[in-house]
Structure 1
Amino acid sequence: MEPSVIIFLILVLCISCLFLISSPRKSHGKGQLPPGPFPLPIIGNLLQLDTKNIDKSLGSLAKVYGSVYTVYFGSERVVVLHGYEAVKEALIAHGEEFAARGSLPIIDAVSKGLGVVFSNGERWKQLRRFSLMTLRNLGMGKRSIEEQVQEEAKYLLEEFKKSNGQPYDPKFILECVPCNVICSVIFQKRFEYSDQKLKSLMELLEENIKILTSPWIQKKQNQQSEFTMENLIITVSDLFIAGSETTSTTLRYGLLLLLKYPEITDKIHEEIDRVIGRERSPCMKDRNSMPYTDAVIHEIQRHLDLIPFNVPHAAKQDTRFRQYVIPKDTTIFTSLTSVLYDEKEFPNADQFDPGHFLDESGNFKKSDYFMPFSIGKRSCVGEGLARMELFLVFTNILQNFTLKPLIDPKDIDTTPISNGFGCVVPSYKLHFLPLQ
């Protein structure tokens, strides 16, 4: 054997021994970390994970190690919580202990520990309180916000009419709608879809999303006041990303599913004609009288599973969780996929079926397992706005248009592209045919 090969093998052996000595024990005993696959030096468990489909990889590990287990992304220790009971216990019963935001290099590079989504401690408390108070003062939760969403929906319909029934990619316009609503709230101004400022803003948001949805890989500032200009800028950026990109992605995925299942679209048309008619625009009061449409929107969100492992949490302190102790600063992944795709709660969970949210009488059926906005102390600040936008935009579109695919519905692939942090909807075009 070549001397260089021997030296290399000796180095690998030495590094492995050092890693074994320094690495935390994986004992199942009381007071120890949850079990998990054996990590290799430096790279941890990365060879056992598909970085382009993290949620599937971690779901497979749950079948081996149970609902609470440990995995290493390089040297970063992560405790994964799988299934409704574990996720609820962590985010509700242990909501305070796990209220910290997890640290991942790709996220830290974007947020720098600032803003309302990825900050921690007193900074997060102050900025979340400030964001909620400011949004309420600007009209969040009031009739004025509903009117702004309705107004934006009218602009959207006009854009679709301009397509004259020709093949049309709705991606950009559907991204503009929630973005313009946020602009109306924060800046008290909406932009024309052709406005260069809006286009530049959309490009910046898309670039951020590309960074966050790139494959997984490997600075906090001590400031007396959290209301620095940089902090406020990133907080506004957080509101745009959380409040526009997630909603537009859900809208695009929803239209794709409705192209795939025209029989579901027909039932929504029937409910709209019966409850709203054609003489007035939809409003939020209509939702209580439209259980089928409401169920479809919930099912779109469930089926999309937009952020499979949630935004990472972290332990604020050494925390006893079940028979284990999770050390302070350990990153926590809560698998929303395992909840949204729970077979007991949602039979045939892989199938798109609005019946998952309907009872035997056709009434809307709530589910505690429906948590696309997460739950607990760090649930999505803009959940109420997102629900409003989804209902009003979908009903406005279907009140005015028939959706026609370019190919046979059975040939439409609705599989979201899982890519790192979230899911990406495949590109497509469709015909918007005005209803007579």
Structure 2
Amino acid sequence: MASESVTLFLLCTVVMMIMKIVISFTKRKNYNFPPGPTPLPIIGNVHLLDIRRQDLTLMELAKKYGPVFTFHFGHLKTVVLVGYEANKEALVAANYDFGHRGPIPISDDFQQNHGVIFSNGELWKVTRRFTLSILRDLGMGKKPIEARIIEELQYLNAAIQSYNGKPFDKKVLYLAAPNITFRMLFGRRFDYDNPTFQRVISIMDDIVVNTGTPAAKYYNIFPQLKKFLKEPGLVVDRINELNEILKVLFKEAKESEDAKCEDSFRTYTEAFLQKDEREVVADEKDKIFTERNLLASAFDVMLGGTETTSTTIQWAILLMMKYPHIQKRVQDEIENVIGLQRPPTWDDQKVLPYCLAMVHEVQRVANLFQYLPHLTPTDVHFRDYFIPKGTTVIPLFSSVLNDETQWETPKRFNPNHFLDTDGNFLKKDAFYPFSKGRRVCAGESLARMELFIFITGLLQKFTFTPPPGVTIEDLDLTPEVVFTMRTKSYKVCATPRQ
């Protein structure tokens, strides 16, 4: 009798297992990934990859597999979007389907789903909405910020003037943009030789470099390598150093007299701290306006407002040295329209079309980010493919900014890309330096204003040339690939214009 019961139990168990398998099979969705190169065990397609210039590898593969294809970063099955049409269709037309941030282990280690660049979910939505609102309230893209940019331009001009025409390092060109960000975060500017200012700049530089080394890029593909690589630990150490400095600056902002008024704020930090004090949640783990998120958000604002803008200015001056005839045409337009005395304003973009075109072309050629990964928050039907939830997607910005169907001479620095036949400024849909869609840069309007005023203001006051003994042909436009695409080290001479 006992044996019959055991037999019946085993029979029922087998039947239930079979039914579970059948039900699971019938519910399984027939995902249809785009074509792509055949992956190898463990490494996927990494053997095909130029780890520094991944964009070049992916653009080359697109010639064989098409503008939408699958690439295996180790075990991670990734969909790559190449060219203007594919990226527009995904990031703009289907922005919610491709709207999450994809994994970046070297950054995720310290941001831990906080801030506005590397986070997802409710925290990202609330933090981004708050950040956009406060930056606008603080004057982003408006007259108050414009006045600060023009003031900072004078400090930068004075720093350059102090070299009296002698060669100086490109690092000097990095110093102005951070102060615009620091004023929004902390309500103060720093002298360029201020120890705190210099320390923050140095730490940010270390982070940008160490998150972009080949070892860091391999770690992003194979997180299991963490114990064997120094970069993950170095980056976290630098972040911890930066956070200690930020906490002091936060404390000073909180204790300032103006910060004591509950219904007003002068800075992003004060607004965040006020929000923190008023936030009420049932569970502490659901709280968004925490010190941890403030630190992460401040870092993201500094990354977007310091590294990207400053590096673009460095690219602009290098390109002006490389193409002196373009520098001369820019300067002629400035001199003929606004003269050499009054500093340029944001409104001058309307009457300086060649200057505006040049600034846009600098951004196109600089191509600061090869890509930032996205993630599908749900199952997605895209073109003829069915892509599952949680799939990493690479919108390849390099391929858009160099798309031969959108740019007449994509491999050449040519401001005419942004001018019509009458010489008027021409907006281009394929201009993707700030990304597009849900993940478009939160500080885009600020960055546009800074770049136009800083670059035009520098060219109004100085002519930039290579140092003695360096020819135009010696100037190397090959980027130094870190987290961003920087110029190689260079020195420059600045001759005042009378």
**In structure 2, what is the Cα distance between the partners aligned to 1:331 and 1:212?**
19
Q: Which residue of 1 aligns with 2:148?
A: 148
Q: Which residue of 1 aligns with 2:378?
A: 317
Q: CA deviation at 1:366?
A: 1.1
Q: Which residue of 1 aligns with 2:342?
A: 280
Q: CA deviation at 1:56?
A: 0.5
Q: Deviations over 1:311-342 (max 9, x none)?
A: 21100011111111111111110011111111
Q: CA deviation at 1:190?
A: 0.2
Q: Which residue of 2 aligns with 1:414?
A: 477
For structure 2, list consecutive stretches of 5 or more residues without a partner in the other structure.
1-28, 224-283
Q: Which residue of 2 aligns with 1:22?
A: none
One-letter amino acid matched to 1:409: I
**In structure 2, what is the Cα distance between the partners aligned to 1:297 and 1:180?**
21
The alignment status of 1:337 with 2:398, answered yes or no, reads yes
**In structure 2, what is the Cα distance between the partners aligned to 1:354 and 1:417?**
23
Matching of residues 419-430 of structure 1 within 5 Å: 419=482, 421-430=483-492
The alignment status of 1:372 with 2:433, answered yes or no, reads yes
Q: Which residue of 1 aligns with 2:365?
A: 303
**In structure 2, what is the Cα distance between the partners aligned to 1:412 and 1:204?**
28
The alignment status of 1:387 with 2:386, answered yes or no, reads no
Q: CA deviation at 1:343?
A: 1.3
Structure 1 residues 170 and 422 mapped into 2: Cα distance closer, same or farther (>3 Å)? closer
**In structure 2, what is the Cα distance between the partners aligned to 1:226 and 1:99?**
20
Matching of residues 395-410 of structure 1 within 5 Å: 395-406=456-467, 407-410=470-473
Taking structure 2 as the reference length, what is the TM-score of the superposition? 0.79
Contact kept, 8 Å, 1:78 with 1:330, in 2: the verdict is yes
Q: How many residues align?
A: 403
SS in 1 for 2:146: helix
One-letter amino acid matched to 2:480: I
Q: Which has the higher helix share?
A: 2
Q: Deviations over 1:361-412 (max 9, x none)?
A: 1111111011110111110001111111111111111111111212221332
Q: Deviations over 1:66-101 (max 9, x none)?
A: 111111111222110111111011111211111110
**In structure 2, what is the Cα distance between the partners aligned to 1:337 and 1:331?**
18
Q: CA deviation at 1:30?
A: 7.4
SS in 1 for 2:394: strand
Instruction: Determine which of 317, 333, 336 is the counterpart of 1:255.
Output: 317
Structure 1 residues 190 and 54 mapped into 2: Cα distance closer, same or farther (>3 Å)? same
Q: CA deviation at 1:102?
A: 0.2
Q: Which residue of 2 aligns with 1:39?
A: 39
Alpha-carbon RMSD across the aligned residues, in angstroms, is: 1.6
Q: Deviations over 1:20-39 (max 9, x none)?
A: xxxxxxxxx97411111111
Q: Deviations over 1:125-156 (max 9, x none)?
A: 00001111111222223211000000100000
Q: Which residue of 2 aligns with 1:265?
A: 327
Contact kept, 8 Å, 2:153 with 2:454, in 1: the verdict is yes
Contact kept, 8 Å, 1:374 with 1:380, in 2: the verdict is yes
The alignment status of 1:50 with 2:32, answered yes or no, reads no
**In structure 2, what is the Cα distance between the partners aligned to 1:240 and 1:433?**
31
Contact kept, 8 Å, 1:416 with 1:423, in 2: the verdict is yes
Percent identity over paired residues = 43
SS in 2 for 1:339: helix
Q: Which residue of 1 aligns with 2:204?
A: 205
Q: Which residue of 1 aligns with 2:90?
A: 90
SS in 2 for 1:223: helix
One-letter amino acid matched to 2:359: I
SS in 1 for 2:433: coil
One-letter amino acid matched to 2:290: T
Q: Which residue of 1 aligns with 2:353?
A: 291
Q: CA deviation at 1:233?
A: 0.6
SS in 1 for 2:287: coil
Taking structure 1 as the reference length, what is the TM-score of the superposition? 0.90
Large movers: runs of 4+ above 3 Å: none
Matching of residues 342-353 of structure 1 within 5 Å: 342-353=403-414
Contact kept, 8 Å, 2:98 with 2:377, in 1: the verdict is yes
Contact kept, 8 Å, 1:115 with 1:234, in 2: the verdict is yes
Matching of residues 161-240 of structure 1 within 5 Å: 161-171=161-171, 173-215=172-214, 216-217=217-218, 218=222, 223-240=285-302
One-letter amino acid matched to 1:356: H
**In structure 1, what is the Cα distance between the partners aligned to 2:480 and 2:209?**
13
Q: Which residue of 2 aligns with 1:133?
A: 133
Q: CA deviation at 1:210?
A: 1.3
One-letter amino acid matched to 2:477: T
**In structure 1, what is the Cα distance between the partners aligned to 2:70 and 2:447?**
33
Q: Deviations over 1:260-298 (max 9, x none)?
A: 010001111101111111231111111110111111111
Contact kept, 8 Å, 2:170 with 2:489, in 1: the verdict is no
**In structure 1, what is the Cα distance between the partners aligned to 2:333 and 2:345?**
14
Q: Which residue of 2 aligns with 1:432?
A: 494
SS in 1 for 2:485: strand
**In structure 1, what is the Cα distance between the partners aligned to 2:121 and 2:108?**
15
Contact kept, 8 Å, 1:346 with 1:356, in 2: the verdict is yes
Contact kept, 8 Å, 1:138 with 1:186, in 2: the verdict is no
**In structure 2, what is the Cα distance between the partners aligned to 1:30 and 1:351?**
44
**In structure 2, what is the Cα distance between the partners aligned to 1:360 and 1:271?**
17
Q: Which residue of 1 aligns with 2:229?
A: none
**In structure 2, what is the Cα distance between the partners aligned to 1:202 and 1:63?**
41
Q: Deviations over 1:205-254 (max 9, x none)?
A: 112211332221229xx931121211111101000001110011110011
SS in 2 for 1:362: coil
One-letter amino acid matched to 2:386: V
